[in-house]
């Protein structure tokens, strides 16, 4: 069990869910997650600070390895976007970048939970998600 006295109530609720059920890729967690009301699902699943301010928010949480991978992946996606826009004049790359940040934001809560409880700071941007 992690020391939670210095966490906000939102983080305490997220941590309690992850301590009880584990990551959202486990069957028990998925069943429990589906039973939650909509607002609780959003609280557990999405981190809007990471979505909109991930570049500065992840280092504030101490997720440095995750931040490095975010920077590298963002640079690669932007390079692909530039090539697509030059060759095709097509903006699908921007949609891909937005989806990428949504996936990162949806796994940040579990990554921070792991950092606080086990000290693990993984390079995996999608840790704890059922897709990866």
The pLDDT value recorded for residue 3 is: 61
Residue 33, token pair as written in the block: 């997650």
Report whether pLDDT(55) > 90: no
- Tell me what the mean pLDDT of segment 75-93 comes to: 75
pTM: 0.82
User: Which class for 82: exposed (0-12), middle (13-18), buried (19 or more C-beta within 10 A)?
Assistant: exposed
| Mean pLDDT, the chain, integer | 84
pLDDT in tens, 9-35: 999 999 999 999 988 888 899 999 999
The pLDDT value recorded for residue 1 is: 46
Q: Using 50, 70 and 90 to split pLDDT, how confident is the model at 126?
A: confident
- Per cent of the chain over pLDDT 70 is 89
The domains of the chain are located at: 8-45, 46-126
Residues 6+ apart with CB under 8 A from 25: 128, 129, 130
The pLDDT value recorded for residue 89 is: 60
Report whether pLDDT(88) > 90: no
Residue 97 to residues 32, 74, 100, 129: CA-CA distances in angstroms?
Answer: 30, 7, 5, 18
23 vs 86 pLDDT, higher one: 23
Residue 21, token pair as written in the block: 């059920």
User: Which class for 88: exposed (0-12), middle (13-18), buried (19 or more C-beta within 10 A)?
Assistant: exposed
Cα angle 38-39-43, degrees, rounded to a multiple of 5:
120
Residues 6+ apart with CB under 8 A from 23: 29, 110, 127, 128, 129
The rounded distance, in Å, linking the Cα atoms of 66 and 79 is 20
């Amino acid at each position: 069990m992690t020391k939670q006295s210095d966490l906000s109530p939102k983080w305490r609720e997220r941590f309690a869910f992850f301590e009880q059920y584990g990551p959202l890729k486990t069957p028990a967690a998925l069943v429990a997650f589906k039973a939650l009301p909509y607002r609780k699902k959003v609280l557990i699943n999405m981190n809007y600070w990471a979505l909109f301010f991930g570049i500065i928010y992840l280092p504030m949480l101490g997720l440095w390895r995750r931040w490095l991978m975010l920077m590298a992946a963002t640079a690669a996606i932007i390079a692909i976007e530039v090539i697509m826009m030059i060759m095709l004049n097509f903006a699908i790359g921007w949609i891909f970048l937005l989806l990428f940040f949504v996936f990162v934001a949806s796994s940040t809560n579990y990554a921070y939970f792991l950092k606080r409880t086990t000290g693990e700071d993984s390079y995996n941007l999608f840790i704890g998600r059922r897709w990866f």
